[in-house]
Amino acid sequence: MANNSYYEVLERASSFLESKGRDSHAARYVLLTRLGWNTTDWLLHMREEAPVAVQRQFQQDIEQLEQDYPAQYIVGKASFYGEDFLVTEATLIPRPETEELVELCLNENKRQNIRVLDIGTGSGAIAITLKKLRPDWQVSAVDISAEALEVAKKNAARHNVVIDFRLGNLLEPFANERFDVVLSNPPYIGEQEIAEMDQSVLKYEPRQALFAKEEGLALYKEICEYLPNVLDKEGKLFLEIGYRQGLKVTQIVASQFPQKNVQIAKDLCGLDRIVWMK
């Protein structure tokens, strides 16, 4: 390969992705992540010659980005709440909106030594973040995918936290156990929303972590139906939702817990994003 600087390599890749109608910012993210560089490192070294091995790897990465393969899967990790988490095609890529679910849970629960359950943990990002920030909490997590749980366990080890991970469907593995807080970012996309979705999500992220029946509401109903068996009488519930689902999910929760205070929290864009109950 020609003697090209890091800057030239990135500029050429970015222009190529733009010409193909792809996100050119993904090229910078992948290159800097591969190199282990931050913005300061980039400014210090971008005019240096890029080694041939780096250029070859980056060319392969760009070819994958052209095929809509997510940048996070290419580098094998994603950022969540300021930390890196391993991700694979068995796990959903953590989204910034889910950070707001964690933030609300932390703000609304100041007690120590509480029992917390994360339903549909995927990469484990929610459960692990809560445990790191509240070490005295007893955090459990469940997922129906054995492959996802393996990734979550690796993430827990990397972040040096102990989580009670269990394989199973929703609340079934926790029969006869009680929790002070239950939270979940369940599959909530209805099949009717496919036309609005990014191709990289549709092609490569796990469908069972994305889609739910009954216009995306099926799992909220299942969770709430069984929840009285595991949630403490004074317990709290936090559910991430699709931005059109606020009223319907509120009704689902309130029908099962008529004595509770059920609220909708909006995300940073002003859209309904969390239904929570106390």
Q: Tell me the pLDDT tens digit for each residue of 94-123.
A: 999 999 999 999 999 999 999 999 999 999
Q: Which of 208, 234, 228, 119 is nearest to 171 (CA)?
A: 119
Q: Is the pTM of this model over 0.85?
A: yes
Beta strands 262-266 and 231-240 are unpaired
Q: What interhelical angle do 218-226 and 246-256 show, nearest 10?
A: 20
Residues 197-203, mean pLDDT to the nearest whole number = 73
**Would the annotation count 113 as a binding residue?**
no
**Would the annotation count 188 as a binding residue?**
yes
**Would the annotation count 185 as a binding residue?**
yes
Q: Tell me the pLDDT tens digit for each residue of 238-266.
A: 999 998 999 999 999 999 999 999 999 99
Mean pLDDT of the chain: 93
What type of residue is 171?
Answer: L
**Would the annotation count 123 as a binding residue?**
yes
Which of the four pLDDT bands, split at 50, 70 and 90, describes residue 205? confident
**Would the annotation count 173 as a binding residue?**
no
Q: Tell me the pLDDT tens digit for each residue of 145-184.
A: 999 999 999 999 999 999 999 999 999 999 889 999 999 9
Domain ranges of the chain: 6-67, 90-277
CATH T-level topology, domain 90-277? Rossmann fold (3.40.50)
**Would the annotation count 143 as a binding residue?**
yes
**Would the annotation count 190 as a binding residue?**
no
Beta bridge partners of 278: none
End-to-end CA distance of the chain: 61
**Would the annotation count 107 as a binding residue?**
no
